[in-house]
């Protein structure tokens, strides 16, 4: 079957690209081996943030005494009900995507695993489909370390199918996925142990931020063991025993459930890229140029599989980049993008651009504005004083280099920094702005009035 374009994968880049191609009267095939919507809709942002919301409610119910609110009796957590709510939210998103596709005469959904035959042909379940342009949007999957493949482990996908709260959840990995699940299941009532190979959680963040997060977790009675080399796990009766090497304690840990959160790998090894001649890097990410074109002229790679972000918002921006080169006068490029992200722990950490470590590594002369959340009036009023805010300014240009916010609602007001950076404006624009009182973000201008040299 001949199409104008083939898209492999219905993630956050693939679906809007299919809609845009169809709007421009092109005949499009979009291939999906699982549920439509990709990681975000099915096993990522949508389901996990619904769980985070439930965990937050449980935490507030159990921790409002200081604000004069006391709940008599035990707070009950119904994981099956939480799961059912999540399933409905996910299904609503899937239904919306399926309806968009089925209502569009220019788009054909092909169900099954797509694999390249050559650079213009993709095979699905024995049938071949051809197109002059092919867009790869195959996403990624959890990485399963050696030593764990023979035990009944959980991933960020399968843990969302549990209907009973784990008695003791052991988590291998102290990154964003591991931390989100650690906190939510601790708030649901599980005992939680985190094992991480590094000497700090969130290895890409500044030391003070990582330490603050560790303290937040310890205050919620989440056990953290750093410098752990998690080497194996085995079944012991009805429990799982994780053997590890750790400077603090190398005693094997027994738990009822094991979550592997040791990173993700791209699904590029599943689609016979070599038959299309598409090149990947040492991690399996597809190499792309500024317009997300691969080394093969008629093939592009979008989303997690190109290694250029790994977030829903970067995947959608990948669509915007490709679409601009196809149909828009103003062209977008990969280098236009400032990397920004958040981890939806409580309080959340949000970041854009460079942090202190990045700046020092590059030898940039910079200034820093910082403030602890316990100095901010609105945070005190809400009883949400954990965390700190940091903003970095280029000493020569007065442009914002980046910011890291750890604090209540940080995932929202980080955008005032992001927008200023995209405007290519001096930090004085936001410094001199008048913000609404009482808010957390009103302290950002105040912070920027008190810059200090970054040592």
Beta bridge partners of 129: 122
User: Considering 168, 244, 415, 437, which one is annotated as catalytic?
Assistant: 437
Contacts of 402 (CB under 8 A, 6+ apart): 351, 352, 353, 354, 355, 358, 359, 391, 392, 421
Contacts of 42 (CB under 8 A, 6+ apart): 34, 35, 90, 94, 157
| 47, 185, 305 from 452: Cα distances, Å | 41, 40, 40
Count CA atoms closer than 13 A to 428's CA, side-chain side.
4
Number of helices (H) and strands (E), helices first, in the chain? 13, 22
Whether residue 257 lies in the annotated active site: no
If you write DSSP's letter for every residue of 25-70 in order, what string do you get? T--EEEEESS-TTHHHHHTSHHHHHHHHHHHHHHHHHHS-GGGT--
**What are the φ/ψ torsions at residue 30 (nearest 5 degrees)?**
-120, 125
Name the packing angle between helices 14-23 and 79-102 (round to 10°): 20
Considering only CA atoms, which of 339, 403, 398 is closest in space to residue 371?
A: 403
Cα–Cα distance measured from residue 392 to residue 214, given in angstroms and rounded to the nearest whole number: 23
Residues annotated as catalytic are: 437
């Amino acid at each position: 079957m001949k199409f104008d374009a083939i898209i492999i994968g219905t993630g956050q880049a693939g679906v809007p690209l299919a809609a845009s191609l169809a709007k421009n009267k092109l005949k499009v095939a979009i291939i999906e081996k699982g549920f439509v919507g990709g990681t975000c809709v099915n096993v990522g942002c949508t389901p996990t943030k619904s769980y985070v919301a439930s965990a937050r409610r449980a935490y507030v119910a159990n921790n409002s005494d200081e604000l004069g609110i006391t709940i008599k009796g035990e707070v009950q957590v119904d994981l099956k009900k939480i799961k059912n709510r999540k399933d409905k939210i996910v299904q609503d998103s899937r239904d919306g995507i399926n309806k968009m596709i089925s209502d569009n005469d220019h788009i054909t959904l092909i169900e099954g695993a797509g694999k390249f035959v050559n650079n213009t042909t993709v095979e699905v379940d024995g049938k071949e489909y051809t197109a002059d342009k092919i867009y790869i949007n195959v996403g990624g999957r959890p990485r399963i370390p050696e030593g764990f493949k023979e035990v009944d482990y959980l991933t960020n996908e399968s843990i969302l199918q549990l209907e009973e709260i784990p008695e003791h959840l052991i988590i291998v990995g102290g990154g964003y996925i591991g931390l989100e699940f650690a906190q939510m299941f601790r708030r649901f009532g599980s005992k939680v142990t985190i094992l991480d190979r590094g000497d700090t959680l969130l290895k890409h963040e500044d030391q003070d931020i990582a330490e603050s997060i560790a303290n937040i977790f310890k205050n919620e009675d989440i056990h953290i063991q750093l410098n752990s080399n998690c080497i194996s796990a085995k079944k012991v009766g009805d429990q799982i025993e994780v053997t590890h090497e750790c400077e603090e304690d190398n005693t094997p840990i027994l738990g009822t459930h094991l979550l592997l959160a040791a990173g993700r790998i791209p699904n590029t090894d599943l689609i016979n890229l070599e038959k299309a001649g598409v090149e990947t890097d040492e991690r399996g990410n597809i190499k792309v140029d500024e317009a997300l074109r691969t080394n093969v002229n008629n093939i592009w790679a979008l989303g997690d599989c190109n290694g250029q972000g790994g977030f829903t918002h970067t995947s959608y921006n990948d669509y915007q980049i490709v679409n601009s080169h196809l149909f828009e006068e103003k062209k977008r490029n990969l280098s236009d993008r400032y990397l920004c992200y958040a981890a939806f722990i409580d309080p959340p950490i949000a970041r854009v651009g460079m942090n202190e470590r990045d700046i020092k590594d590059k030898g940039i002369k910079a200034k820093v504005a910082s403030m602890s959340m316990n100095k901010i009036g609105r945070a005190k009023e809400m009883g949400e004083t954990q965390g700190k805010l940091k903003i970095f300014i280029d000493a020569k240009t007065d442009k914002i280099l980046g910011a890291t916010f750890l604090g209540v609602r940080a995932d929202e007001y980080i955008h005032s920094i992001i927008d200023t950076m995209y405007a290519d404006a001096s930090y004085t624009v936001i410094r001199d702005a008048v913000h609404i009182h009482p808010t957390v973000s009103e302290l950002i201008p105040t912070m920027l009035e008190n810059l200090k040299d970054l040592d």
